[in-house]
Structure 1
Amino acid sequence: MTENFEKLTPEIISKLVLPKMFCENVEYFEETSSTNDIAKAMADSGAKEGTLVIAESQAHGKGRWGRNWESPKYLGIYVSIILRPKLNKEIIPFISLISGIATAETIKEEMGLDAKIKWPNDILIREKKVSGILIEGSIIQDRLEFLILGIGINVNNETFKGEYLHTPTSLRIEKDGNIISRKNILERLLVKLEKWYFLLLKEPDGKETILKRYKELSHTLGKEVTLRAGKDLLKGTAIDIDQMGFLVLKDKKGKLERIPSGELTNES
């Protein structure tokens, strides 16, 4: 039954106090294959920065490493945003960091739940995954044309299908079992994203502020981890996030490895 769940229609979204960046071009779908795919097609056709694609459900929601993001109708937040930061590709790790920060802070402040970031940008509550973030982009000769920032948050889900690396959860499960307003979560998320995005682009000490906050919210730093980076399987202690936004891994021999992207398969 879904009749008791609010919709995130254009009319509802227009009443939210959204940052100007995200309120001028909103594309809404009751159901679609993937918001990231739609946003990418729009970006390829010249859609401007801040274009927001939102769906009530996705038939083939995209997770990292080709996984599916379960997207039942009216239960979660499924959004993709077109970004055109006009910088080189070295900015990408920091887009990953700020998206994790914005999502974790949204959950903490809106719900009072202790959300943590599993590197690079999965959001966990009590070791269970509540949100995933996927960043895709177009790079031509080292120049970043655009990025698609896709965010999925399990809000009112009560059950999950399939097998998962991390046990899934939802805000409703972790809070008190009552139905949660998705529009409030969306509103705060977009405000947070704009704040951290402009801090990254415009403030001289923006990267230092981002690194400090990310480390405060990290679920990964200080732990023994196993991660997949390309074809390599690496093991060591996650000791830092460096000035490039890379994870710094220290193996048993003391050798340091800087990892720009990858997937943690184990933390302990």
Structure 2
Amino acid sequence: MSPARTPSHLLPLDVDRLRRVCMTLRNIGPIEVVEETESTHADLMTMAANGAEDGTVLIAENQTNGRGRSGRVWISQQYTDVIISYLARVPLPADRMPTVNFHMGLAVSDALQQLCGNNLKLKWPNDLLIYDKKVGGILAESHVPPGNLANAYAVISLGLNVNTELADLPAPVNEEATTIATYMKRPMDRTAILLKILDALDFYRTEMVHGEVPAERWNSRAAWVGETVTVNQERKKVSGKLRGIRQDGALELIGDSGQIVAVTHGDLLRRA
């Protein structure tokens, strides 16, 4: 009796295919794929400090201590998800560096358009939702030497749930999350999805240097526009109807008296 074959959607990424296709993308590469690491984001920040070149991509088949925004942990399973960090050496001042986060969100939205259509939404500032459940998250971190924008850089990382078994995730994560496979009702080819993301990221990398978010484009894909939301900050809560984001990435809410309130940080919740 022949040994059981591993299902195709649980196989390692096709690294040769990734590298072959990405050789045609101006702003992508070199690409490194590792079997396992604690955090691709931390690793690439170290590589960037040691001179890694613009466009470097670090991908992991498994991540044991992935980071989310505000120190949260990103949980992944081997050979099931897309875990990627990207180095962008962009000469932007520190107050404009957060805009690169929104370009990654748009790249993923573009890449998944054929699969998810308008059911994939961008949640400010860095989450990806399908039917209000989290399917992905983005983390951006930058280094801007004082008076030396030429050596500034940002590392932008993405964790995307592709074929993860939700039942294997701990509560309450398994109730708040979803996957591309769950939405599509079939296992997905991670290599094909990753190639679409890198192709879209190649385009958005050229826009990052402007230090502005294409706000109209981002808002057209944003979650909860026109709905009453609350942004939880460390010492206060800000509520209002979600208007959208500005070119600098700040979130705009419409208050009870019609005034526009700009919010630059916090956790966005749908309920007031």
Counterpart CA distance in 1 for 2:250 and 2:79 is: 35
Counterpart CA distance in 2 for 1:146 and 1:166 is: 36
Q: Give the AA of the match of 2:141.
A: E
Question: By how many angstroms is 1:142 displaced?
Answer: 7.1
The equivalent position to 2:89 in structure 1, one of 75, 80, 84, is 84
Q: Give the AA of the match of 1:41.
A: T
Cα deviation 1:105-139 (Å, max 9, x = unaligned)? 21122455621111112111111111110111123
State yes or no: 1:30 paired with 2:35. yes
The equivalent position to 1:16 in structure 2, one of 21, 31, 50, is 21
Conserved 8 A contact 2:25-2:199: yes
Question: By how many angstroms is 1:15 displaced?
Answer: 3.1
Give 3-state SS (helix, strand or coil) of 2:270's partner. Answer: strand
Matching residue of 1:222: 226
Q: Cα distance 1:114–1:266, how it changes in 2: closer, same or farther (>3 A)?
A: closer
Conserved 8 A contact 1:158-1:172: no
Structure 1, unaligned runs of 5 or more: none
Matching residue of 1:70: 75
Query: Identity percentage over the alignment?
Result: 28
Counterpart CA distance in 2 for 1:59 and 1:21 is: 28
Counterpart CA distance in 1 for 2:230 and 2:148 is: 32
Matching residue of 2:255: 251
Conserved 8 A contact 2:98-2:249: yes
Matching residue of 2:184: 175
Q: Cα distance 1:30–1:99, how it changes in 2: closer, same or farther (>3 A)?
A: same
Moved more, 76-85 or 250-259: 250-259
TM-score, structure 1 length as denominator?
Answer: 0.88
Conserved 8 A contact 2:90-2:208: no
Counterpart CA distance in 2 for 1:165 and 1:224 is: 26
TM-score, structure 2 length as denominator?
Answer: 0.87
Runs of 4+ in 1 over 4 A off after TM superposition: 110-113
The equivalent position to 1:104 in structure 2, one of 91, 99, 109, is 109
Counterpart CA distance in 1 for 2:74 and 2:227 is: 27
Counterpart CA distance in 2 for 1:180 and 1:99 is: 21
Moved more, 240-249 or 152-161: 240-249
Counterpart CA distance in 2 for 1:166 and 1:141 is: 44
Conserved 8 A contact 1:19-1:191: yes
Give 3-state SS (helix, strand or coil) of 2:142's partner. Answer: strand
Q: Cα distance 1:148–1:231, how it changes in 2: closer, same or farther (>3 A)?
A: farther
Conserved 8 A contact 2:88-2:205: no
Cα deviation 1:191-249 (Å, max 9, x = unaligned)? 111212213436xxx957x2121011011321211112344322122213223221112
Moved more, 184-193 or 133-142: 133-142
The equivalent position to 2:137 in structure 1, one of 109, 132, 151, is 132
Q: Give the AA of the match of 2:26.
A: K
Q: Cα distance 1:114–1:240, how it changes in 2: closer, same or farther (>3 A)?
A: closer
Matching residue of 2:204: 196
State yes or no: 1:54 paired with 2:59. yes
Q: Give the AA of the match of 1:156.
A: N
Q: Cα distance 1:92–1:267, how it changes in 2: closer, same or farther (>3 A)?
A: farther
Give 3-state SS (helix, strand or coil) of 2:82's partner. Answer: strand
Structure 2, unaligned runs of 5 or more: none
Counterpart CA distance in 1 for 2:239 and 2:209 is: 33
Conserved 8 A contact 1:93-1:260: no
Counterpart CA distance in 2 for 1:112 and 1:266 is: 22
Q: Cα distance 1:201–1:27, how it changes in 2: closer, same or farther (>3 A)?
A: same
Moved more, 94-103 or 106-115: 106-115
Q: Give the AA of the match of 1:162.
A: A
